[in-house]
C-alpha cells in the first residue's frame, strides 16, 4: 500500500493542543489496524530541542536512539504506546545543516544550491525515510500558518502532494475560536483568516478542528462553511475537555473525536478501508479511572525552575506528570502533584517537615547547583521517615550524595557537577564526557541496557519474578532498557562503600561500571534510577517504577 499522509497545521494561535490532536488522530488510525508513524516538524534553526530552555519549551523528550526532541513526540509515543526515532523530528536547522554539508562535500558539484528545489527536496527525503513500512504518516507542522518560518514546509507538502496525488494526502487545520469576555460570543473571524493564509500556500484544508472554550454551534459551523468553502461535516468541534469534578484528562480526546466521526471521515477522504473495528474498551477503562478515581494520593515533586514570573511552568516535568497519571489510572487512584521549589528547604530549616503530609516524594532530573542542598534535605527526610521516594537521574545522583554524607560518613561527599574540588566525588563525570566541549547532542543519550539483579525490588517491578511457562522462576539477571540523558554517574570507586553501608545497587551496566538502579532495604519504597523511565510510559502500559511508587504511596 502507498503511504497516506495527514498534514496537521495550526492557525490563529499556538499552544491550543495541536500536538494532542495529532496524537489522538494517530491513535484513531492505529485503532483501525494501520501501521502509523508521526513526524513533528519544528521550524526553528536549532538542530534539536536539546539546547532549548525548558522553562520556555517544556521538558526535552528523549527517544531510544538518543534524539532530544520537543514534547510533542512524547505525546505521540504516550498515545500510541510505540517508540519513535529521532528521524521523526525535522527542524530547519537539520535541513540546512545537511544541505550545507552535502554542498561542501561536492554532492551538488556544478549546481547552484537554492531554496527551490533543494530545501523542499531535503524535507521530502526525510519524510520518505520515516514513511518506509508505514501505512499512514501524520506530519505536524509546528507554529501557526502565517509564520515566516513554516513556509518552506508548507511548500514541501504541496510538492509531496504533486508527487503522490491528492487522494494520498489530506490537510487538517487546528484553529482557535476565541470568546471575548465583553461580548460572550464565539468569533470565527480568526479562523477564516487562517484558512485564507493557508490558501496563500496553495493548501485548502480538508478538515478544520475548532478548539475553543465551548463547542461550536451550528450557526458558526455554517458561517465557516460559507467563508472557508469547506463542508460543515468536516468542521469538527474540539472544546476544552470538561472532566468530572476536579478530574480531567487529555486522554479523552480520541474518544471525543471518534464521536465526531473524524476517524471515518479521514479514511473516506484518503480512500482507505479500515482494517479492523476500533476497540476502545481498555482506553475507555483507563480514562474512566482517571475521571472517577477511587482514592487520592499526594506526591511532592521537588525540583527547580518551576517559577517564571507569575506562572508556574509545570511543563518542565511533563513526562513525569504523565507517567504518574498512567500509573495512577492503573491503580485506580488520582495523584495530586505539588511542585515544590527545592530552594524553599534551603532558606527554611524546618520547611522540609512539610513532606510528612505527602504520600511520596519524587526528585526528577535536573542540572546545575540551584536548589541542590534543598533536594538533598528532602531526600534525607524521605529516607529517614519511611516516605516512598522515587529518584530520576539527578534524583539518583543526589540520593547517593545524601547517603554518602549521612550513612557512609563522607561529610563533604558531592557530585563534581556542583563541587569539583570535593574530596569525596561520589558522583563524577563519565570518562567519555571529559573532553567534550560542544553542548548539542553530546550527553549520554538514549536507551542503554541495565542488568538488574535477582532478588531486588527493581527486579520484581520489572517482572523478573514472573513465573515462566515451565512453572519456574527465571532467577537470572534481567535486561532492562531505559532512556538516558546525563553526563555524570556514580563514581565506581565508591560502589563498595555504598554497598557496605547498606545501599543495594540493583542494576548495573553490563560491564558493571555504571550504576543504573539503586534501592534501600527496610524502606517502604526507596528506589532511584540513572535513567528516565518516564519516557517509556504510556496510558495502557505505565512505567514499572512509577507503578511501584504509586502502589507504595497508596499503602
Q: Find the binding residues for ligand GLN in span 444-503 (CB under 6 A).
A: 485-488
Nearer to ligand GLN, 228 or 427 (CB): 427
Task: Decide: is 54 part of the binding site for ligand GLN (CB under 6 A).
Answer: no
Size of the site for ligand GLN (CB under 6 A): 11
Q: Which stretch binds ligand GLN (CB under 6 A): 204-212, 253-261, 359-367, 447-455?
A: 359-367
Nearer of residues 16 and 399 to ligand GLN, judged by Cβ = 399
| Among 394, 448, 459, 549, interactor with ligand GLN by CB under 6 A | 394
R_g (Cα) of the chain, nearest Å: 25
Which value, to the nearest 10 degrees, does the dihedral of the CA atoms of residues 141, 145, 150, 155 take? 90
Q: Contact between 366 and ligand GLN (CB under 6 A)?
A: yes
Q: Can you read off the three cell numbers belonging to residue 196?
A: 485564507
- Strand 526-529 and strand 515-519: the pairing is antiparallel
Catalytic pick from 333, 393, 408, 497? 393
Q: Pairing state of beta strands 307-308 and 360-363? A: unpaired
In 240-330, the DSSP E strands lie at 295-303, 307-308, 311-312
- Active-site annotation holds for 393: yes
Considering the complex, state which of residue 365 and residue 371 has its C-beta at the smaller distance from ligand GLN.
Answer: 365
Could you say which residues in the range 411-440 bind ligand GLN, by CB under 6 A?
A: 417
Provide the minimum distance between the beta carbon of 546 and ligand GLN in the complex, in angstroms, as a whole number: 16
Cα dihedral 257/262/263/268 (nearest 10): 180
Question: Please, is 157 exposed, middle or buried when counting C-beta atoms within 10 Å of its C-beta (0-12, 13-18, 19+)?
Answer: buried
Tell me: does residue 520 bind ligand GLN (CB under 6 A): no
Catalytic annotation, pick one of 59, 414, 532, 553? 532
Q: Is the peptide bond before 426 cis (omega within 30 degrees of 0)?
A: no
For residues 396 and 550, which CB has a smaller minimum distance to ligand GLN in the complex?
Answer: 396
Other CB atoms closer than 10 Å to residue 181's CB: what's the count?
Answer: 6
Does residue 367 bind ligand GLN (CB under 6 A)? yes
Q: Which CB sits closer to ligand GLN, 150 or 397?
A: 397
Residue 370 found at the interface with ligand GLN (CB under 6 A): no
Strands 295-303 vs 360-363: parallel, antiparallel or unpaired? parallel
Nearest-approach distance from CB 444 to ligand GLN, in angstroms: 8
Minimum CB separation of residue 527 from ligand GLN in Å reads 16
Which one of the spans 19-27, 40-48, 374-382, 389-397 is the region binding ligand GLN (CB under 6 A)? 389-397
Q: Give the nearer residue to ligand GLN in terms of CB position, either 314 or 332.
A: 314
In the complex, what is the shortest distance from the CB of residue 301 to ligand GLN, in angstroms, rounded to a whole number?
13
H-helix or E-strand spanning residue 485:
strand 478-486
User: Does 393 contact ligand GLN by CB under 6 A?
Assistant: yes
Three-state SS string over 111-163 comes to CCCCHHHHHHHHHHHHHHHHHCCCCEEEEEECCCCCCHHHHHHHHHHHHHHHH
* Residue entry with cell 520489572: 462
170 annotated active-site = no
Residue nearest to ligand GLN (CB): 365
Q: Which stretch binds ligand GLN (CB under 6 A): 137-145, 365-373, 496-504, 513-521?
A: 365-373
Query: Pick from 69, 68, 66, 72: which is nearest to 10 by CA?
Result: 72
Helices (H), 292-351: 318-330, 343-347
Least Cβ distance, residue 394 to ligand GLN (angstroms): 3
In 216-351 the beta strands, taken as DSSP E runs, fall at: 235-239, 295-303, 307-308, 311-312, 333-341
C-beta closer to ligand GLN: residue 4 or 485: 485
Residues that bind ligand GLN (CB under 6 A): 365-367, 393-394, 397, 417, 485-488
Residues classed as catalytic: 393, 532, 534
Amino acid at each position: 500500500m502507498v503511504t497516506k499522509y495527514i498534514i496537521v497545521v495550526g492557525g490563529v494561535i499556538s499552544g491550543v493542543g495541536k500536538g494532542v490532536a495529532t496524537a489522538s488522530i494517530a491513535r484513531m488510525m492505529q485503532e483501525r489496524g494501520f501501521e502509523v508513524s508521526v513526524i513533528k516538524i519544528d521550524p526553528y534553526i536549532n538542530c534539536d530541542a536539546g539546547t532549548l530552555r525548558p522553562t520556555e519549551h517544556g521538558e526535552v523528550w528523549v527517544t531510544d536512539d538518543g534524539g532530544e526532541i520537543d514534547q510533542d513526540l512524547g505525546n505521540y509515543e504516550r498515545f500510541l504506546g510505540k517508540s519513535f526515532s529521532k528521524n521523526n523530528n525535522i527542524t530547519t536547522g537539520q535541513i540546512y545543516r545537511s544541505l550545507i554539508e552535502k554542498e561542501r562535500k561536492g554532492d551538488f558539484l556544478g549546481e547552484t544550491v537554492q531554496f527551490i528545489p533543494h530545501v523542499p527536496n531535503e524535507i521530502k527525503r526525510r519524510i520518505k525515510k520515516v514513511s518506509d513500512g508505514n501505512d499512514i504518516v501524520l506530519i505536524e507542522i509546528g507554529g501557526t500558518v502565517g509564520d515566516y518560518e513554516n513556509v518552506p514546509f508548507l511548500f514541501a507538502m504541496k510538492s509531496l502532494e504533486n508527487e503522490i496525488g491528492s487522494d494520498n494526502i489530506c490537510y487538517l487545520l487546528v484553529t482557535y475560536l476565541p470568546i471575548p469576555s465583553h461580548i460572550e460570543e464565539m468569533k470565527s473571524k480568526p479562523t477564516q483568516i487562517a484558512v485564507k493564509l493557508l490558501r496563500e500556500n496553495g493548501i485548502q484544508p480538508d478538515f478544520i478542528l475548532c478548539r475553543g472554550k465551548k463547542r461550536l454551534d451550528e450557526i458558526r459551523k455554517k458561517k465557516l462553511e460559507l467563508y472557508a468553502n469547506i463542508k460543515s461535516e468536516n468542521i469538527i468541534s474540539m472544546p476544552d475537555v470538561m472532566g468530572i469534578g476536579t478530574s480531567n484528562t487529555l486522554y479523552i480526546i480520541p474518544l471525543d473525536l471518534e464521536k465526531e466521526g473524524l476517524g471515518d471521515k479521514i479514511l473516506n477522504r484518503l480512500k482507505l478501508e479500515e482494517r479492523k473495528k476500533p476497540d476502545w474498551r481498555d482506553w475507555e477503562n483507563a480514562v474512566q479511572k482517571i475521571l472517577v478515581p477511587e482514592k487520592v494520593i499526594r506526591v511532592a515533586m521537588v525540583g527547580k525552575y518551576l517559577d517564571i514570573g507569575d506562572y508556574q511552568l509545570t511543563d518542565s516535568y511533563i513526562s513525569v506528570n504523565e507517567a504518574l497519571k498512567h500509573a495512577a489510572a492503573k491503580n485506580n487512584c488520582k495523584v495530586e502533584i505539588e511542585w515544590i521549589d527545592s530552594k524553599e528547604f534551603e532558606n527554611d530549616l524546618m520547611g522540609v517537615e512539610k513532606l510528612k503530609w505527602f504520600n511520596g516524594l519524587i526528585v526528577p532530573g535536573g542540572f546545575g547547583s540551584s536548589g541542590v542542598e534543598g533536594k538533598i534535605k528532602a531526600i534525607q527526610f524521605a529516607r529517614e521517615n519511611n516516605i516512598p521516594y522515587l529518584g530520576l537521574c539527578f534524583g539518583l545522583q543526589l540520593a547517593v550524595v545524601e547517603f554518602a554524607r549521612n550513612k557512609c560518613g563522607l561529610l563533604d561527599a558531592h557530585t563534581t557537577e556542583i563541587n569539583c574540588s570535593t574530596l569525596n566525588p561520589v558522583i563524577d563525570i563519565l570518562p567519555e564526557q571529559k573532553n567534550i566541549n560542544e553542548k548539542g547532542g553530546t550527553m549520554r543519550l538514549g536507551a542503554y541496557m541495565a542488568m538488574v539483579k535477582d532478588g531486588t525490588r527493581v527486579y520484581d517491578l520489572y517482572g523478573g519474578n514472573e513465573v515462566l511457562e515451565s512453572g519456574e522462576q527465571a532467577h537470572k539477571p534481567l535486561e532492562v532498557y531505559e532512556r538516558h540523558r546525563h553526563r555524570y554517574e556514580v563514581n565506581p570507586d565508591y560502589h563498595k562503600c555504598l554497598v557496605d553501608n547498606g545501599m543495594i545497587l540493583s542494576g548495573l551496566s553490563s560491564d558493571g561500571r555504571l550504576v543504573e538502579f539503586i534501592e534501600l532495604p527496610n524502606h517502604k519504597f526507596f528506589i532511584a534510577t540513572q535513567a528516565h523511565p518516564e519516557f517509556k510510559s504510556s496510558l495502557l502500559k505505565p512505567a514499572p517504577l512509577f507503578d511501584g511508587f504509586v502502589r507504595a504511596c497508596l499503602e
